[in-house]
Structure 1
Amino acid sequence: MTRSIDGPRNARGRRTRDALLAATREILESDGFEALTMTEVAGRAGVSRQGVYLHFSSRTELVMALFDFIAEQEGLRESLAPVRDAPDAVSALRAWARHLAAYHPRLMTVDRAIDRVRHADPDAARHRATVDENQFATCRRLAERLDAEGRLAAHWTVATAADMLWGLIATDVFERLLTGRDWTHDALADHLTALYEATFVKNDRVS
């Protein structure tokens, strides 16, 4: 478990810890997971190697703290607030599309670095599992809400809708559209919304 550095008197310690995690993210984005060592993190953060171990006893502990750090740095809670607070399931699904289009692309470089080695590196695998678990939990809640409100399209069960919503978060999908096809983030949000509604939402119009 990461050592606690709470309290005003430890503001310097918190800044050092954040610097180490920021350096970790920078290394992943610039050089890949293979380059992530405690020595490299120390050098990138301008901290002694001994100083790294005052905050993280191992690379495993450092990587375990990375998800929460990036989430806070990128405003994950705030970005998801419209999904949580939506008045109905369809509005929540639309908010989810907008969240993904705005938030997920900022993490694509880290995601690629993790995915490249996650089958061979236990630390990368743990980080990937944490990301997957958090993403899937939201997809499951969306599917459950659609079902509870009678809006889930007939083809889907809660389980299969959650699986498909989660599968559509794949970094390759976003990268192909944003980079390969030069979509803007706004276009991505609009088209994801249209895709989700056409696919997962029951059409209640009477012919």
Structure 2
Amino acid sequence: MPPTSKRERVSRAEQKARTRTAIVEACRELITSGRMVTMPEVAGRAGVSEATAYRHFSEIVELITTALVDLWPTPAEALAPVAGSTDPLARLEFATDFLLRRVTAYQGAVRAVIAATVTSPPRVRDRPGFRFGLIDQALDPVVAADTPAAAQRLTQLKQDLAAVVSADALFSLTDLCGLDTEAAIASLQRTVRTIARTALSEPGNGHPGEAIADSITSNSGR
């Protein structure tokens, strides 16, 4: 066979790139529809075979993670409406609402990722970690961590919140407890507020003086 020309190699590379783009775009369409995302469904929408889709993305988690890049704002963009607030509880409440409403809108993709990683525990760390960025953005600008002890307490608070500001927690309330979406989000917001208020009200919480305690007290009736 004659050697492949440079032009042919470029053409193949371009076709491969176009196919990959088509697969990602098809996945984004499915994600925003809220429907369950599967590789056969994505391949069909992209006009390629399932085998071709798998050649570009080895499994569904990789594909969904790639497709979400342009669908999810940065933490700073997401929390822009509360950027001027110095109240960590209000900021966390907003972050919780933002995450869980986006999870609800994209729940087909979220459930697909959870299902794929539950059956393969080593892949859990491949799940998109949007909650962590939102929690960081809610707390870091307003909660001081200027001593080792304060930094450790802040880290512990973030870990505690990660169990609540999550799709898993939302689906537990909607699927197992039978709550509707609004009630489930409100429940998790209350839990987030309770966890954060308790942690930030403790002595030596990393804030200068009693400013944070005063902030928490003044907002506790919300």
The alignment's TM-score, normalised by the length of structure 2, stands at 0.57
Cα distance between partner residues in 2 of 1:147 and 1:194: 20
Larger radius of gyration: 2
Say if 1:109 and 1:85 are closer, same or farther in 2 by CA, change over 3 A.
same
* 1:95, distance to aligned residue in structure 2 (A): 1.0
Cα distance between partner residues in 2 of 1:149 and 1:84: 21
Q: Which of 131, 134, 138 is 1:135 aligned to?
A: 131
Is the CA contact 1:118–1:125 (under 8 Å) kept in the aligned structure 2? Answer: yes
Is the CA contact 1:80–1:99 (under 8 Å) kept in the aligned structure 2? Answer: yes
Say if 1:172 and 1:48 are closer, same or farther in 2 by CA, change over 3 A.
closer
Is the CA contact 1:92–1:142 (under 8 Å) kept in the aligned structure 2? Answer: yes
Is the CA contact 1:98–1:189 (under 8 Å) kept in the aligned structure 2? Answer: yes
Matches within 5 A, 1:139-178: 139-148=135-144, 157-178=153-174
Say if 1:104 and 1:71 are closer, same or farther in 2 by CA, change over 3 A.
farther
Say if 1:180 and 1:63 are closer, same or farther in 2 by CA, change over 3 A.
closer
* 1:96, distance to aligned residue in structure 2 (A): 0.9
* 1:165, distance to aligned residue in structure 2 (A): 1.3
* Equivalent in the alignment of 2:5: none
Cα distance between partner residues in 1 of 2:191 and 2:84: 19
1:26-71, Cα deviation, whole Å (9 max, x unpaired)? 9x95475xxx36xx643x1252349x57xx9522398535325335
Cα distance between partner residues in 2 of 1:60 and 1:99: 30
Q: Percent identity?
A: 12
Ranges in structure 1 where 5+ consecutive residues have no aligned partner: none
Q: Which of 189, 194, 204 is 1:193 aligned to?
A: 189
Amino acid at match of 1:87: S
* 1:92, distance to aligned residue in structure 2 (A): 1.4
Cα distance between partner residues in 2 of 1:130 and 1:176: 18
* Equivalent in the alignment of 2:210: none
Cα distance between partner residues in 2 of 1:149 and 1:190: 29
Amino acid at match of 2:57: R
Cα distance between partner residues in 2 of 1:163 and 1:83: 24
Say if 1:186 and 1:96 are closer, same or farther in 2 by CA, change over 3 A.
same
Matches within 5 A, 1:21-100: 21-22=27-28, 30=36, 36=39, 41-42=42-43, 44-49=44-49, 58-60=56-58, 63-70=61-68, 72-73=70-71, 76-77=73-74, 80-82=78-80, 85-88=83-86, 89-100=88-99
Cα distance between partner residues in 1 of 2:42 and 2:107: 21
Q: Tell me which protein shows more helix as a share of its residues.
A: 1
Tell me, what secondary structure is at the counterpart of 1:48?
A: coil
Cα distance between partner residues in 1 of 2:91 and 2:183: 18
Cα distance between partner residues in 1 of 2:170 and 2:132: 17
Indicate whether 1:105 and 2:87 are aligned. no
Cα distance between partner residues in 2 of 1:185 and 1:21: 24
Cα distance between partner residues in 2 of 1:63 and 1:70: 11
Q: How many residues align?
A: 182
RMSD between aligned residues = 4.5
Ranges in structure 2 where 5+ consecutive residues have no aligned partner: 1-12, 202-212
Cα distance between partner residues in 1 of 2:141 and 2:188: 19
